[in-house]
Amino acid sequence: MDESLDTVLVEYDEDRGVGTLTMNRPDALNALSAQLRDDIVAGLELLEEQNEGADGVALRAVVLEGAGEKAFCAGADIGGFSDESSGGSSARSHYDFIRDFPAPVIAKIDGYCLGGGLETALACDFRLATESSTFGFPEVNLGILPGAGGVQYVEKIAGPAVAKELAMFGDHISAERAADEGIINRVYDDDEFDDEVDEYVTDLAGQAPLAVQAIKKSADMAVHSGLEEGLEYDRQLFEGLLQTEDHAEGAAAFGEDREPEFEGK
Ligand code: COA
């Protein structure tokens, strides 16, 4: 399944169960127009359709990237500001949609990752970047703050001092610094980036899918809940996973010293 929406290219690799969404406004550094926000949601919905009739586990991972040589995404479309602050015209913003999406979403970042682009990456489950990528919240230069919770999310990852520094100065930081602060997961040489990301995504897509979906829910729940509530939630997820065929297969494979074959059941 390959589809070309107005501003997003959608691809699906059936063998690995990996979808790819490419934000496709390279002339505007993939700035988030209302159309682009809507198309990210529409692209995710198309990919989710692959799960129909497959017990919800055909789609194992989604890669979100930016077209062109320069940017993952340079933030909100400054020209179209009146229709934006945190969401496009969809009922749920693309940020919410990515966070609630059942399969993990990986931001593949090569170039500028700014403002709403960084907030989009923060909504993803993983952030992988080239060493030449740069990150920042330039909104303060426009007299505003990141409108989709950027300060909140960076505060949770890296603490208030880092969140304030990024958002109050509006400077770009390097991929190396972003990784040091925990804002991104991995930094790769530009030359090896595609291969490294491919390997990372293939490994992730091969993990037991019900466990991966449960872990995503657990980690996201922890952002909103207290520890007691989170521990109870994890206990319920754990009880459910103990009953799955994948768990039996994983245990059997360990005992037989072979690689497990997970089927998402
Ligand atoms: N919204 C709309 N268009 C944008 C954009 C944005 N957020 N960011 C870049 N563009 C457009 C530029 O207007 C330019 O269009 P043009 O070729 O028609 O003039 C094109 O993308 C290339 O950008 P340019 O500024 O020429 O590239 P650069 O390499 O010199 O600078 C940036 C890159 C990212 C530093 C610079 O474009 C920038 O600061 N953009 C704004 C980032 C921002 O403030 N985002 C948060 C918004 S709340």
Angle at 36 between CA 62 and CA 29, to 5 degrees: 90
| CATH superfamily of the domain spanning 2-205 | 2-enoyl-CoA Hydratase; Chain A, domain 1 (3.90.226.10)
Query: What tokens were used for 257?
Result: 């010293």
> What is the 3-state secondary structure of 4-26?
ECCCEEEEEECCCCEEEEEECCH
Per-residue pLDDT tens over the stretch 89-147: 457 899 999 999 999 999 999 999 999 999 999 999 999 999 999 999 999 999 999 99
- How far does residue 29's CA lie from ligand 1's centre (Å)? 6
- Cβ < 6 A, ligand 1 pocket: 28-29, 31, 74-79, 112, 114-115, 138-139, 142
| 171-188 tens-digit pLDDT | 999 999 999 999 999 999
Q: Matching CATH topology for 2-205 and 209-256?
A: no
**Ligand 1 center to residue 76 CA distance, Å?**
10
If one residue of 23, 25, 29, 145 were mutated to test the ligand 1 pocket, choosing by the most ligand atoms within 8 A of its CB, it would be 29
Handedness of CA 219, 223, 227, 231 (dihedral sign): negative
- What residue has token string 């709403």? 116
* Domain ranges within the chain, ordered by starting residue: 2-205, 209-256
Q: What is the mean pLDDT of residues 192-208?
A: 98
Q: How far is it, in rounded angstroms, from Cα 93 to Cα 31?
A: 15
176 tagged catalytic: no
Question: Which alpha helices (DSSP H) does 50-130 contain, by range?
Answer: 94-100, 116-123
* CATH tag, 209-256: 1.10.12
User: Is the Cβ–Cβ distance between 198 and 106 less than 8 Å?
Assistant: no
What token pair was written down for 198? 């491919």
Atom of ligand 1 nearest to the CA of 139: 48
Considering only CA atoms, which residue is closest to atom 44 of ligand 1? 138
Which of 78, 119, 166 is the pocket-test mutation for ligand 1 (most atoms within 8 Å of CB)? 78
Buried b (16+ CB within 10 A) or exposed e, 130-169: beebbbbbbbbeeeeebbbbbbebbbeebeeebbebbbee
- Size of the chain, expressed as the number of residues it contains: 265
Give 87 Cα–ligand 1 centroid separation in angstroms. Answer: 20
Q: What is the pLDDT of residue 104?
A: 98
What confidence tens digit (pLDDT) does each residue in 57-105 have? 899 999 999 999 999 999 999 987 655 544 444 578 999 999 999 999 9
C-alpha span between 228 and 225 (Å, rounded)? 8
- The yes-or-no answer on residue 139 being catalytic is yes
Per the CB < 8 A criterion, the answer to whether 104 and 216 are in contact is: yes
Q: 89, 80, 91, 152: which is closest to 118 by C-alpha?
A: 152
Q: Does 116 participate in catalysis according to the annotation?
A: yes
* pLDDT at site 53: 82
**Number of neighbouring beta carbons within 10 Å of residue 100:** 13
Choosing from 48, 65, 84, 119, the catalytic residue is: 119
Beta strands 2-4 and 186-188, pairing class: unpaired
